[in-house]
Chain A
Amino acid sequence: MFPRPIETWKPSTRTLYIVSVFVVLIGWLLPLIIISLASFMTADQLNAGGRGFNMPSPFSVDGWRIAFQNDDFRGSFINSFFIVLPVVAISVGLATMAGFALSKYRFRGQLIIFAIFIGGNFVPFQILMVPVLRLTQDLGIYDTKWALIFFHGAFQTGFCVFFMRNFIAQLPSELLEAARVEGASEWKIFTRIVLPLVKPAIAALSVLIFTFVWNDFFWSLVLTPASPDGMLAPAGLSNIIRGRYYNAWNVMAAGSLLVALPPVIMFFLLQKQFIAGLTLGANKG
Chain B
Amino acid sequence: MGNVNRFAPWLFLFPALVYFFLLVIYPIFGSFWISFHDWNGTTFQCSDGRSLLELEEDESCRRVPVMTWVGLDNYERFFEKTPRDFERVKNYWIGIFTGEPVRWPRISVESKVLLNNIKWLVLFPAAIPIGLAFALFLNQSPAWVRITKSMFFFPFVLSPAVIAFVFQYFYDPAGPLKEIYSALGWSSGLIGDQHKATYGIIAAGWYPQIAYCMIIYLAGLTAIEPEQIEAARLDGAKGWKLLRRVILPQLWPATFIALVVTMIGALRSFDLVQVMTGGGPGRGSTDVLARYMYHKTIFDQDYGYGAAIAVILFAIMLVFIAVFIQQMIRRDEEA
A-B complex is real: yes
Identify the A interface with B (CB < 8 A): 1-3, 5-7, 21, 24-25, 28-32, 34-35, 38, 49, 51-53, 94-95, 97-98, 100-102, 105, 107, 110-111, 113-120, 122-132, 134-135, 138, 150-151, 153-155, 157-158, 161, 169, 185-186, 190, 211, 214-218, 221-222, 233-235, 237-238, 249, 252-253, 255-257, 259-260, 263-264, 266-268, 271, 274-275, 278-279, 281-285
Q: Report yes or no: A2 in contact with B17, Cβ–Cβ below 8 A.
A: no
Q: How far is the CA of A175 from the CA of B306 in the complex (A)?
A: 52
> B13 at the A/B interface (Cβ < 8 Å)?
yes
Q: How far is the CB of A198 from chain B (nearest CB, A)?
A: 13
**Given A6-B142, A51-B176, residue A124 in contact with residue B253 (CB < 8 A):** no
User: Of all chain A residues, which has the CB nearest B39?
Assistant: A130
Is B169 within 8 A of A97, CB to CB? no
Question: Which of A101, A122, A234 has a CB less than 8 Å from the CB of B162?
Answer: A234
With a cutoff of 8 Å between Cβ atoms, the chain B residues found around residue A138 in the complex are: 62-63
Bound Cα distance A107, B298 (Å): 43
- Knowing A153-B19, A238-B275, say if A124 contacts B27 (CB, 8 Å): no
Q: Are B24 and A155 in contact (CB under 8 A)?
A: yes
Q: Is B141 an interface residue (CB 8 A)?
A: yes
Residues of A within 8 A of B297 (CB): 129-130
Q: In the complex where A122-B324, A130-B306, A222-B294 touch, is A285 in contact with B20 (Cβ < 8 A)?
A: no
Asked if B95 is an interface residue, CB under 8 A from chain A, the answer is: no
Cα separation A94 to B266 with both chains bound (whole Å): 30
> A263 to B159, Cβ gap below 8 A?
yes
B188 → A minimal CB distance (Å): 15
- B13, B62, B136, B220: the one contacting A282 at CB < 8 Å is B220
Interface centre among B9, B155, B223, by most A CB within 10 Å? B9
Is the beta-carbon distance between B166 and A32 smaller than 8 angstroms? yes
Contacting pair B152 A124 (CB below 8 A): no
Check A125/B19 contact, CB under 8 A, given A2-B224, A97-B12, A234-B162. Answer: no
Contact B19–A2 (Cβ < 8 Å)? no
In the assembled complex, how far is the CB of residue A159 from the closest CB belonging to chain B, in whole angstroms?
11
Do A122 and B270 touch across chains, with their CB atoms under 8 A apart?
no
Look across to chain B and name the residue whose beta carbon is closest to the beta carbon of A235.
B161
A126 partner, pick from B222, B243, B294, beta carbons under 8 A: B294
If over half of B's interface residues share one DSSP class (helix, strand or loop), that class is named, otherwise mixed; here it is helix
B: number of interface residues (CB 8 Å) = 110
Query: Is the CB of B193 closer than 8 A to any CB of chain A?
Result: no
* Closest beta carbon of chain A to B291's beta carbon, Å: 9
Q: Tell me whether A124 and B314 are in contact (CB under 8 A).
A: yes
Known: A2-B243, A111-B329. 10 other contacts (CB 8 A): A38-B169, A100-B12, A115-B328, A120-B20, A128-B31, A130-B31, A134-B30, A134-B65, A217-B159, A234-B159
Q: Decide if B20 touches A256 in the complex (CB within 8 Å).
A: no
Residues B63 and A158 in contact, CB atoms below 8 Å apart: no
Contacts of B219 in A (CB 8 A): 275, 279, 282-283
Given contacts A3-B139, A129-B310, contact A122 B294 (CB under 8 A): no
B69 sits at the interface (CB 8 A): no
Contact among B16, B63, B155 with A32 in the assembled complex (CB-CB below 8 Å): B155
Q: Say how far B216's CB is from chain A's closest CB, in angstroms.
A: 5
Contacts of B161 in A (CB 8 A): 215, 217, 234-235, 237-238, 259
Q: Are B148 and A25 in contact (CB under 8 A)?
A: yes
Tell me the nearest residue of chain B to A17, going by C-beta: B140
12 contacts between A and B (CB under 8 A): A1-B229, A2-B136, A35-B165, A113-B17, A123-B28, A126-B306, A131-B26, A155-B23, A215-B162, A256-B166, A283-B220, A283-B223
Min Cβ gap A195→B in Å is 12
Within 8 A of A (CB), among B221-269: 221-224, 226, 229, 242-243, 247, 252-254, 256-257, 264, 267-268
Closest 5 CB pairs of A and B: A131-B30, A131-B27, A215-B159, A285-B253, A154-B23
Cβ of A31 and Cβ of B19 under 8 Å apart? no
> Cβ of B184 < 8 Å from any Cβ of A?
no
A233 contact set on B, CB distance < 8 A: 159
Q: Does B271 contact A (CB under 8 A)?
A: yes
- A151 CB contact (under 8 Å) in B23, B151, B242, B264: B23
- Residue numbers in A under 8 Å from B142 (CB-CB): 6-7
The reply on B106 being an interface residue by CB < 8 A is no
Partner of A256, one of B6, B19, B162: B162
> Once the chains are docked, how many angstroms separate the CA of A171 from the CA of B12?
18
Pick from B17, B138, B154, B220: contact of A268, CB under 8 Å: B154
B314 & A127 in contact (Cβ 8 Å cutoff): yes
The answer to whether B329 and A97 touch across the interface, beta carbons within 8 angstroms, is no
| Chain A residue, CB-CB nearest to B311 | A127
B52 CB-CB contact with A under 8 Å: no
Q: Which of A118, A124, A155, A253 has the most CB of B within 10 A?
A: A124
B328 touches A132 (CB 8 A): no
Pair B257/A275 contact, Cβ less than 8 Å: no
User: In residues 125-165 of chain B, which contact A (Cβ within 8 Å)?
Assistant: 136-142, 145, 148, 150-155, 157-162, 165
Q: Given A126, A211, A274, which contacts B293 in the complex, CB threshold below 8 Å?
A: A126
